[in-house]
Amino acid sequence: METFLQPHQRAKMFGLQKTTALILFLLLSCSCIAQTSVTSNIPIFIIDPGGPEIPNDPKIPATFRIAAEVAGSYSYTIGGTNTYQYDGKIGIEIRGNTSAEWPKKSYGFETQDPVTSASIDVSLLGFPAESDWVLNACYGDKSFIREVLAQEMFRQTGRYASRTKYVELFLNTGGSLRYMGVYIFMEKVKRGKDRLDMKKLGETDTDALKISGGYLLQVGENEDMKWNSNISPNNNASNPKPIFHVEYPKLEKYTNITNRDAQFNYIKNFVNNFEAALNGANANDPLIGYRKYLNVDSMVDYLLLQEFTKNSDNWRASTFFYKQRDDEGGLLNLGGPWDFDKSMGNQQWCYEPSVLPTGTWAWKFNTYCPDRPPLTVSWPEKVLNDCYFVQRVIARYKQLRLNQWSDANVLAFIEAQRTTLKSNNAITRNFTKWNILTTGIMYNEHYTLAGNTHDKEVDYLKTWIQQHLAWMDSDIATISSLTCAPLPVTYNSFEVNKNDNKVLVSWSTTAEQNNGYFEIQRSGDAMKFSKIGMIEGRGESTSLVKYEFTDDNPLSGINYYRINQVDRDGTSELTRIKGIEFKTNELTPVLYPNPADNEIHLMDLMPGSKIKIVDVKGRVIQNITVNEKYYNLPLHQFHDQMYYLSVDDGRKIKSFTFLINR
């Protein structure tokens, strides 16, 4: 999402009078450069809605083609003979708020069945199959790199971020097919196996477990199925309260109002309870404070990304968060990240230091800009008032800077994007079409436009990031006003992998202080964990230390693991949860008939299984060990009532309730 600005505000932003701003807008809107043929190293999209202008809403039908790749190159000629690697139907609309008023539009589109127009999942450019996609015009970021870099940096934390790829676009609106320049093709933030991975939630799901997730929400979207926060920003009751909107499931499309309201009220109450805990007297309590509702590590990574990019749009209209079902963890997670054209020194907000690489933290925009649109949550300020959270932020930042976010990796990634954009002159074609390199699009008084080129844009970005990360390196301890002791352990990695019929749990640390031992815990439902092993820690260390533990008897199904690090003084800290599916050839016991009269039959037993029968008063009636897959249990000595039967095969326990009714 974009900043909401009125025309007179935009004119003021660019230092222009209204008349001058209007003339500039008309000049920029003119498609004066004809580009009828393109050969490119990046994919070429051709979208044809048949001539009509694409609206902001609703989607209109269009044909969608991707030029075929031949020997690493793509070619397209208007009116010529062309071949395509994809040729299908889409529904398309304009995306954005401020950006929707710029002459080069961004678009959202949905791949559709050519006959029914129903959405269909399609794999485009090697991305996992899905139906919802975005074409980001990147008009305000002339480097074309900020969005791509931010998504990659979040992906480097091990979390989901939209996959991106540069493309060139031809579009038929106004009755003619025209070259529209370079775009960033992106995945839309949504629930999905290969996007935000959480279980589906449908209109018929009503039981307590299913309605506990998954939900995708957005801050600041004034759409259907929304509510206002109970908490005012900046601890100022006069400030309008942020809006929360349910993005998924599409509750506004439900016809069963009872089910719709049950789901809406569940997630509304959960978020409200989280905010109440975050702002309450016991906010930092690990059991009843905000940690009861929040995946802390996801918040740590998300906050650090916003600080890495110094994103002036953060924590408001472009902030997504989601909740998985209780059997998947059940906590609020931050992400996926979105909208970074106003970051990394590109957009000066309402105070001058906001655009500088040093001196201020992005999360403080609320404090420095009290008049910014009232859509912003105060979550960062609150969690940074807890030493537990602050310690994790500092440790995680130092960990990321060693590898994923190192200067070498970041700068190499930027250079790779520059090379891609310059190859076959794609970026030159874009700025021939849109001659804006020396025109102010984003207000920034520290930004030089005279003689500007795309290379200068990229060099400015690289210099800004190096200076900013160097400042963060020296000042990370000041991200909070609290003075907090360092964490006893700084993790470098935590992984679980299959190893034949076992699971290998491995982790490494880059620093240990007063570390006693690590306790390995496992769960079958991500909720109830049991200790399955223990490994002694190094105690004191400032170098890389690697640890391994083998689970010789994993559960059938999904195994969830976490590490409980215990200090020598007895205090402890849990890692994030890692899951892995482990399918075995084990049998699952079956009991029938139920109710029974003279006997019950048990089948699909593991030889050696122990059977225990207990009555309703808790008395053990019978213990049996069976060595066959099948067992018939006579019931002539049992009374007509309910009994509980369990089958323990040494790895898991299967429980039954059966009734005798003669």
DSSP letter string, 228-240: E-SS-GGG-TTSP
What is the pLDDT, as a whole number, of residue 203? 97
Task: Answer for the pair 156, 404: CB distance below 8 angstroms, yes or no.
Answer: yes
Is 29 a member of any domain?
Answer: yes
* pTM metric for this prediction: 0.77
Single-letter code of the amino acid located at 105: K
Is 22 a member of any domain?
Answer: yes
Is 131 a member of any domain?
Answer: yes
Is 577 a member of any domain?
Answer: yes
What is the pLDDT, as a whole number, of residue 569? 83
| Rounded Cα gap, residues 271 and 226, in angstroms | 12
Single-letter code of the amino acid located at 435: N
**pLDDT tens per residue, range 480-530:** 999 998 778 888 889 999 988 899 999 999 889 899 999 999 988 777 889
With H, G, I as helix, E, B as strand and everything else as coil, classify residue 153: helix
Look at the chain and report how many structural domains it folds into: 4
What is the pLDDT, as a whole number, of residue 574? 82
Is 484 a member of any domain?
Answer: no
What is the pLDDT, as a whole number, of residue 329? 87
Do residues 168 and 238 share a domain?
no
| Rounded Cα gap, residues 184 and 311, in angstroms | 19
What is the pLDDT, as a whole number, of residue 584? 62
Is 544 a member of any domain?
Answer: yes
| Rounded Cα gap, residues 61 and 65, in angstroms | 13
Do residues 69 and 176 share a domain?
yes
Do residues 188 and 271 share a domain?
no
Identify any residues that bridge with 67 across adjacent strands, giving them in sequence order.
84
Do residues 430 and 577 share a domain?
no
Q: Is the peptide bond before 593 cis (omega within 30 degrees of 0)?
A: yes
Low-confidence residues in the chain, pLDDT < 70: 1-33, 234, 371-374, 584-587
| Rounded Cα gap, residues 538 and 491, in angstroms | 13
Is 360 a member of any domain?
Answer: yes
Nearest alpha carbon to residue 460 among 283, 646, 45, 452: 452
Give the containing element (helix H, strand E) for 270. Answer: helix 257-278
| Rounded Cα gap, residues 235 and 473, in angstroms | 30
Nearest alpha carbon to residue 327 among 201, 505, 159: 201
| Burial state string for 337-347 with b = 16 or more CB within 10 A and e = fewer than 16 | bbbbbbbbbbb
What is the pLDDT, as a whole number, of residue 501? 82
Alpha carbon 220 to its chain centroid, in Å, reads 17
Is 479 a member of any domain?
Answer: no
Among all chains, which residue has been given the structure tokens 């989901």? 160
CA distances from 650 to 69, 555, 585, 603, 611 (A): 56, 11, 15, 17, 11
| Rounded Cα gap, residues 244 and 275, in angstroms | 12
For residue 226, give its domain range.
210-397
What is the pLDDT, as a whole number, of residue 13? 40
Among all chains, which residue has been given the structure tokens 């920003």? 233
| Rounded Cα gap, residues 600 and 592, in angstroms | 6
DSSP secondary structure letters along 497-532: EEETTEEEEEEEEEEESSEEEEEEEEESSSSS-EEE
Alpha helices in 279-406 (DSSP H): 296-309, 365-368, 379-383, 387-402
Do residues 219 and 364 share a domain?
yes
Q: Is the peptide bond before 103 cis (omega within 30 degrees of 0)?
A: no
Domain containing residue 530: CATH number: 2.60.40.10
Task: Please classify residue 451 by burial: count the beta carbons closer than 10 Å to its beta carbon, then call 0-12 exposed, 13-18 middle and 19+ buried.
Answer: exposed
Task: Answer for the pair 519, 534: CB distance below 8 angstroms, yes or no.
Answer: yes
* Domain end position, chosen among 556, 582, 608: 582
Nearest alpha carbon to residue 274 among 247, 498, 266: 266
Domain containing residue 600: CATH number: 2.60.40.3580
With H, G, I as helix, E, B as strand and everything else as coil, classify residue 101: helix
What is the pLDDT, as a whole number, of residue 220? 81
Which letter does DSSP use for residue 657 in this model? E
What is the pLDDT, as a whole number, of residue 15? 40
